[in-house]
Amino acid sequence: MVNRDDVCKACEGTGMLADDEEWQYTCTVCGGDGHLSPGENPTPDKYINVDENNRILD
């Protein structure tokens, strides 16, 4: 059973996010695993590369 307190609030446990144009990318909060443990740092480990439209370049 999944502990709902550990589910990433940004991607709702899917591990993927989408922008306004429906471009999908890996969740930058949980790193794509869909879970964020209590006390885990949600800040990305590395710099996020984006294009001129602020879309993430994976």
Q: Which domain holds residue 10?
A: 1-32
The arithmetic mean of pLDDT across residues 18-41, rounded, is: 84
Listed in order, strand segments (DSSP E) in the chain are: 16-18, 24-26
Question: Residue 27: what are its φ and ψ, rounded to 5°?
Answer: -60, 125
Look up residue 1 and give its two tokens.
């059973």
Residue 37, in any domain of the structure: no
Number of domains the chain contains: 1
List pLDDT tens digits, range 32-44: 888 887 777 777 6
Between these two residues, 50 and 56, which has the higher pLDDT value?
Answer: 50
State the pTM of this model: 0.64
Residue 50, in any domain of the structure: no
